[in-house]
Amino acid sequence: MAKGHADKIAVITGGATGIGQAFARRLAEDGARIVIADFAPADETLALVAARGRPARAVVTDVSTPEGVDALAAAVAREFGGCDILINNVGIFPNRPFDEVSFADWKRVMAVNLDSMFLTAKAFVPGMKARGWGRIVNMASNTVATAVTGYTHYIASKGGVIGFTRALASDLGPSGITVNAIAPSLTRTTGTTTTNPRAPERFDHVASFQVIKRTQTVDDLVGAMSFLTSDDAAFITGQTLYVDGGWVRR
């Protein structure tokens, strides 16, 4: 178990399923109190957290909008008093050739994948500054380095996540707040297996580029997240950690 999670309040966006759910489970095991923000109800995640004996709350909201984040921040303040650990995990990944991407498509992906991170940071950073401690982890993607086809708007948004992470780390470092990003490969989740009818073939294709030649799972990501949000990572900030089986090596 990493150090420094006991009784910390962790807010995880997109935590109803998939990677966010795995993060909630691990942080509960580490001793944190959990708040899930998602478009959908998070009953399954709440049950996993409760089974580990930790308090949890779910807020059904759209964190890509100021109103949605205001509702989340109010719930966190009312029930837990603030946020110590912010995991910006929510994201959408539509596959569409560039010629078919409308401006509305572009704006929606940017809103969910990037604007949400700005809005949640604006909401929770003041409290972190007041306490002199905070951890922010933003979910990026190794597609920024691999540039696969059909995801122009998605990859652009994740490039923005990496830039935002570096810049925000510079601003917040003097206040005892670290900001880092995790960039996974294609990860097996309910979302990635149900949205693509060619998912098994796609997983095998991606694995062929990796040094570790198997499909990435959510359990491959929880250790990196736990470390980056712990006291052990107090001197690491502004970094993007590629957790992708060795596809991207930098």
Kindly report, residue by residue over 107-136, the tens digit of the pLDDT. 999 999 999 999 999 999 999 999 999 999
pLDDT digit string, tens, across residues 195-215: 665 667 889 889 999 999 999
pTM, full prediction: 0.95
Distance CA 77, CA 124 (A): 10
Q: How many angstroms separate the CA atoms of 113 and 35, rounded?
A: 19
For 21-70, what is each residue's pLDDT tens digit? 999 999 999 999 999 999 999 999 999 999 999 999 999 999 999 999 99
Question: Which positions ≥6 away from 219 have C-beta within 8 Å?
Answer: 22
pLDDT in tens, 167-179: 999 999 999 999 9
**Which domains does the chain show, CATH number per domain?**
9-243 (3.40.50.720)
Is the distance from CB of 97 to CB of 135 less than 8 angstroms?
no
Q: How does the average pLDDT of the chain come out, rounded? A: 95
Q: Is 154 a catalytic residue?
A: yes
pLDDT at position 2 over 70: no
Query: What is the rounded average pLDDT of the residues 172-190?
Result: 95
Residue carrying the six token digits 């909201």: 61
pLDDT of residue 176: 98
Catalytic residue among 23, 124, 151, 154: 154
